[in-house]
Structures are given as C-alpha cells and as structure tokens.
C-alpha cells in the first residue's frame, strides 16, 4: 500500500481505544512514524469500500486503553505524522459536555468555531517556513462533509466548542463563563490539533458526541454519562462516509 493513496486521517477520541477495526477492513498497520516531535500513535489504514481510497485511522488517547488524557497528548507528533503521510484532511471525533439548553446526551454536533481556554499547550510547530494558523477555525468543506454524513440534522446549526486545559472537570462558575462567552459544548481535545493542522495547510473538522452534561448544566435532568463503545461505533462510520465525500 502506497501512503500517497491516503488523503484522509480519522483521529478517534472517546472509546476509540480498543475499538475492533475488523468491520472497516484494515489493509495496513498498525504502524508508527518517527517525527521531529516524537513517535506518532499507531496508525492503521482502513478500506471498507474497495472502490474508495483507504483512510488512515489512529486513536489519539491510546491503542488499547485511555492511556493519555488530552492535556498530555503529543499533538505535534500526530499532526506532523499526517503531513508525512500526505494527508490533506483530518476528521476527528470528540466526547463533549453539553452547555447549550436543548442538547441531550447522545446528540451529535459539528462545531463551527472554537474558544481556546487552554494555558500550557504548544499551539505552533514554531517552524520558520510555516505561516501562523489563520482562516476559518474548521474548514468549511470538511465540516460540510461531516454534516452531509450525519443521520440527523445538527441540533444547533452553528455551534461553538470551548476547549479547556484539563484533566480536571470545569467548575460550575467556569461553565457559566463559557456559556456567556457563547460556547455550546465543552471539551479538552481540539486545541492545539486544529491550529497545528492549519499551519500545515491540512483541512480539519470535528464530530462531537455529547457524552454528558457540563457541570451545572443538567438543568433538572437526571445526570447521564455516555463514554462507552457506542461513541466510537457511532462516530467512525460517519467520518468514513465524510472521507468518501471529501475525496470527491
């Protein structure tokens, strides 16, 4: 298999670790790449449809278990590995907490913008030949491909994701601050991935699975959390469909 055949990387988030990839027909891997920023996570090439190009897949938090929370990931290694593979589009899925009223656990959201409240993460490669990240936060064509692949419309048309440092959960006062700032969902993953991809000219878009209500946002509903395998089994097929759309 020639890596030049691969143009899309799917970065699995919640419940990707330990996911049985057999139904999506692995054709190569898992393998790792040595980058200037360290070793990449294990990458597997999947080709569920022989008429479509293969898709690269990796679990950002670890292969068989949640080995690294978002605050401790080597973001630069995985995004640079995408560059080494010749990737032009990155799709990811991420578990998020619901801030906006009306969002329920199990909803799927495709964020259109991002507020970055992280403090210690390296958001640039610092390479003199690379332009700083700029332009739309999520690539419009990549985001549109995810939306077209969803089983149901977005419950919020133009949602905003707020990224926090972690690994601790946010306080109720912090969530209220983010709500007032315009955030609809909260997570710990998308910064700096999205900015690093922009520096390399790689299209990036995300699919968010609402796994819980953010602190103080249950709003009278019974507490509910969904972090099990259903998250990965729901999100991966959607992003594989989006990869087929973006490749055409």
In degrees, rounded to 5, the angle at the alpha carbon of residue 162 between the alpha carbons of residues 9 and 182 is 130
Q: Specify the pLDDT at position 248.
A: 56
Name the nearest CA neighbour of 75 among 92, 55, 88: 92
Q: Specify the pLDDT at position 61.
A: 72
> Alpha-carbon distance 149 to 51, whole Å?
18
> Alpha-carbon distance 128 to 1, whole Å?
33
Chain center to CA of 149: 16
> Alpha-carbon distance 221 to 241, whole Å?
33
The three-class DSSP label of residue 93 is strand
Number of structural domains in the chain: 1
- What are the backbone dihedrals phi and psi of residue 208, each rounded to the nearest 5 degrees, phi first? -105, 130
Q: Specify the pLDDT at position 227.
A: 84
- What are the backbone dihedrals phi and psi of residue 85, each rounded to the nearest 5 degrees, phi first? -80, -10
Q: Specify the pLDDT at position 2.
A: 47
Q: Specify the pLDDT at position 65.
A: 47
Q: Specify the pLDDT at position 1.
A: 41
**Which residues constitute the domain of residue 136?**
3-246
Residue 12 near residue 240 (C-beta atoms within 8 A): no
The three-class DSSP label of residue 163 is strand
In degrees, rounded to 5, the angle at the alpha carbon of residue 155 between the alpha carbons of residues 154 and 159 is 75
The pTM score is 0.93
Which residues, 6+ apart, have CB-to-CB distance to 126 below 8 Å?
none
Q: Specify the pLDDT at position 212.
A: 96
Instruction: Show contacts of 70-73: CB within 8 Å, 24+ apart.
Output: 70/166, 70/167, 70/187, 70/188, 70/189, 71/120, 71/121, 71/165, 71/166, 71/167, 71/188, 72/167
Other beta carbons within 10 angstroms of residue 17's beta carbon come to: 18
Q: CATH number of the domain at 48, please.
A: 3.40.50.1580
Which residues, 6+ apart, have CB-to-CB distance to 184 below 8 Å?
98, 99, 100, 103, 109, 111, 156, 159, 160, 161
Residue pLDDT tens, the chain, 248 long: 444 489 999 999 888 887 899 999 999 989 999 999 999 999 999 999 988 899 999 998 766 544 456 767 899 999 999 999 999 999 999 999 999 999 999 999 999 999 999 999 899 998 888 888 888 999 999 999 999 999 988 899 999 999 999 889 999 999 999 999 999 999 999 999 999 999 999 999 999 999 999 999 999 998 888 888 999 999 999 999 999 998 65
């Amino acid at each position: 298999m020639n890596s030049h055949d691969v143009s899309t990387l799917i970065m699995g988030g919640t419940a990707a670790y330990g996911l049985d990839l057999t139904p999506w027909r692995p054709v190569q891997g898992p393998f790792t790449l040595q980058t200037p920023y360290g070793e990449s996570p294990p990458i597997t090439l999947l080709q569920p449809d022989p008429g479509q190009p293969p898709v690269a897949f990796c679990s950002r938090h670890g292969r068989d278990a949640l080995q690294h929370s978002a605050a401790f990931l080597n973001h630069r290694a995985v995004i640079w590995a995408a560059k080494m593979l010749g990737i032009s589009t990155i799709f990811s899925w991420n578990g998020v907490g619901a801030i906006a009223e009306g969002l329920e656990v199990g909803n799927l959201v495709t964020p259109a913008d991002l507020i970055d409240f992280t403090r210690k993460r390296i958001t640039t490669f610092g390479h003199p030949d690379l332009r700083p990240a700029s332009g739309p936060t999520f690539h419009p064509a990549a985001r549109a491909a995810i939306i077209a692949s969803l089983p149901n419309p977005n419950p919020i048309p133009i949602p905003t994701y707020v990224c926090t440092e972690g690994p601790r959960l946010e306080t109720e006062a912090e969530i209220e601050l983010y709500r007032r700032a315009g955030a609809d969902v909260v997570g710990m993953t998308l910064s700096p991935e999205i900015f690093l991809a922009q520096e390399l000219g790689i299209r990036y878009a995300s699919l968010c699975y609402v796994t819980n209500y953010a602190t103080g946002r249950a709003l009278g509903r019974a507490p509910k959390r969904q972090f099990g395998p259903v998250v990965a089994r729901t999100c991966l097929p959607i992003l594989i469909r989006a990869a087929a759309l973006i490749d055409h």
